[in-house]
Structures are given as C-alpha cells and as structure tokens.
Amino acid sequence: MTRRLPKLRTVLIFDAILVLVILVVVAMTSLRTAHQERACEREYQIVQAALEAYMADNNLMNVPASRGTYDMTAPVLLYRDSPTATNPNYVRDSQTQWSYAWNSTGRITSIIAKPRGPGVPSDCVVSSVP
C-alpha cells in the first residue's frame, strides 16, 4: 500500500500540470483570436477612412471600384513610394493584411482573405452605416 501512494501522487501531479497546460493553450488561442478581430476591424476602419480622405482631397464623388485588393496603390492610389505634400499617403503600407472590395462611391462592401493570408475573423464585418 505504501508503494502505491507515491505513484498515485505522481499521477495526480502530472494530471494537474496537464490541466494547467491545456488552460494556458486555450487562453492563448482566445487572445490570438481577439487580437486578429481587433486588427481586422482597425485595418478596415483605416482603409475606409483613407478612401474617404482621398476622395475629399481630390474633390471626387466616385473612384474606381474594387472587387478585392490588398494593394493600396491600385485601383486607387492610397499609398505612394515617395509621398509629397500635394500627393500624400493615406495608408501606412502599400499592402494590407486583408483584401477589401469597395463600390464606386468609395464604400467598402466586403473584407476578403488575401491569398496565403489569415482568414477574416468572424467578428470583422463591414459596417452598414453609410
């Protein structure tokens, strides 16, 4: 009987450590998912604001529509390699993490996963507010 007690104690300690490892993995996965959702929502807001600023600066009512692009140099020039005071950048980087489709009025209509990029988080959706 005395030999079984140390073995049982070892098994219980191992089980407790295993439960703690599982809890840490679950917590890290939840944090990563929440981070991806915030990053997607923020990037969407930045691209939408960039489109609006570009249209305002250039006194435009319409822009070329996009079916889905992560390239911020086309079809609307939101990023330049050499910005100037009269031709500024509207976004920080030439490529975004996700692709964006927008209509001719510059309104983003959908967020799309780009090739070999992360999927679009389920909570990252286009706002219906015009």
Q: Does the predicted model carry a pTM greater than 0.75?
A: yes
The pLDDT confidence band at residue 30, using thresholds 50, 70 and 90, is low
pLDDT at 120 (0 to 100): 96
In this predicted model, what pLDDT tens digit does every residue of 73-122 receive, in sequence order? 999 999 999 999 999 999 999 999 999 999 999 999 999 999 998 999 99
The answer to whether 19 and 11 are in contact (CB under 8 A) is no
- Per-residue confidence band for 28, with pLDDT thresholds at 50, 70 and 90: low
**Do the Cβ atoms of 104 and 124 come closer than 8 Å?**
no
Task: Please compute the mean of the pLDDT values over residues 49-73 and round it to a whole number.
Answer: 97
The DSSP letter of residue 63 is -
